[in-house]
Structure 1
Amino acid sequence: MPLTLTCPTFAEGETIPVKHVRDGENLMPPLKWTGIPEGTQSFVLIVEDPDAPRGTFYHCAIYNIPPDREGLPQSIDTSHDNALSYARNDFGNGRYDGPEPPVGHGPHHYHFRLAALDVPNLNIPAKAGAQQIWREARKHLIEEAELVGVYER
């Protein structure tokens, strides 16, 4: 069974609810995954917007997620879960910041990407950005799952 990422508040290709966007409640969507591949020692989750005007914009990076986790809860400030590590997103924050595309720019596609890794943790500097985390994670990738939501203002 392949690694699969789902969200109970929106399905693949659907509109991301306002409660999960930055000018809404900015709640990180609850996420669940199944089909954890053999040999997984940790996970990394990133949220990125490749439709951003200046190139891919990173909204969240959570790394060193323990291999026994099967999801993440909805939360406005997930940085209080000591079992997880957060990289700086492109807003400069070490947390989830939801979609906030420019007004009138059209629909943006937000990619929630989960990577199963063959290492128990990534030794990354505390000030690392989301893009750096994702680059390092790709070096240890066993399998990846993706969920895409859409939002426009």
Structure 2
Amino acid sequence: MKCFDRKRAFRGGMLALLIHHPLFWGGIGSAAAEAVPGETAMGFTLSSEAFPPNGEIPRKYTCDGGDVSPPLAWSGLPAGTRSLALIVDDPDAPDPKAPKMTWVHWVLYNLPADAPGLPEAMQSLPVGTLQGMNDWKRTGYGGPCPPIGRHRYFHKLYALDTVLPDLHRPDKAKLEQAMAGHVLGQAELIGTYQRSR
């Protein structure tokens, strides 16, 4: 009985040492360390001078206006960031009272880590940036155009520990798959829009 207790104590002690050893987490680490969707890394922020968090997106950035991309700015990138990815989507489609899908408005990746943001009505991408497909089956920005009700538009910026290969105009799912295990942090900005009738 004493021998069994001693073995059990030894095994428990070794497990405790392993769990607290950095190499243990490094070995299984990227998934455990990856940012949880919706969680913002400390100090990593995404903002727009066009609208406040949870505020109304001005008409000019929607299908009812010029349908141009809003200005975006970010700061506080996590250490080790080598590139950024941006996904803008609407989880309230087609009706916020009965959502059935998430509509993707914009997909960008390999934004350079030293870029401070994106200008309004962006005409040319920062050097090295690649585009993915939105749900209109085209690249580029497509502004809010909700068929009914007030929708939320999630602007999600991901800091990655790598520069991704050319994914040849990926959709959101393919980009997320490529980013898996490389996300150091996520910043999020939500805007809303409802069309006037």
Equivalent residue number for residue 149 of structure 1: 191
Unaligned runs of 5+ in 1: none
Residue 129 of structure 1, CA deviation: 1.1
Structure 1 residues 127 and 33 mapped into 2: Cα distance closer, same or farther (>3 Å)? closer
Equivalent residue number for residue 150 of structure 2: 107
Q: Deviations over 1:27-63 (max 9, x none)?
A: 1011000111100000001100000123111100110
Residue 127 of structure 1, CA deviation: 3.3
Distance 2:114 2:127 in 1: 15
Q: After the TM superposition, list the runs of 4 or more consecutive aligned residues in structure 1 that deviate by more than 4 angstroms.
A: none
Q: Which moved more, 1:35-44 or 1:135-144?
A: 135-144
Distance 1:20 1:92 in 2: 19
Distance 2:176 2:123 in 1: 21
Which secondary structure state, in structure 2, belongs to the residue aligned with residue 56 of structure 1?
A: strand
Equivalent residue number for residue 98 of structure 1: 143
Unaligned runs of 5+ in 2: 1-41, 95-99
Given candidates 75, 87, 103, the residue that maps to 1:46 is 87
Q: Are 1:28 and 1:74, in contact at CA under 8 Å, matched by a contact in 2? A: yes
Matched, 1:62 2:103: no
Tell me the matched-pair count. Answer: 149
Which protein is richer in helix relative to its size? Answer: 2
Normalization by structure 2: what TM-score? 0.71
Q: Are 2:106 and 2:132, in contact at CA under 8 Å, matched by a contact in 1? A: yes
Alpha-carbon RMSD: 1.6
Which secondary structure state, in structure 1, belongs to the residue aligned with residue 134 of structure 2?
A: coil
Distance 2:85 2:53 in 1: 19
Equivalent residue number for residue 63 of structure 2: 22
Q: Which moved more, 1:129-138 or 1:21-30?
A: 129-138
Q: Are 1:25 and 1:76, in contact at CA under 8 Å, matched by a contact in 2? A: no
Question: Identity of aligned pairs, percent?
Answer: 38
Q: Are 1:29 and 1:75, in contact at CA under 8 Å, matched by a contact in 2? A: yes
* Rg (Cα) greater in structure: 2
Q: Greater relative contact order (Cα 8 A, min sep 6): structure 1 or 2?
A: 1
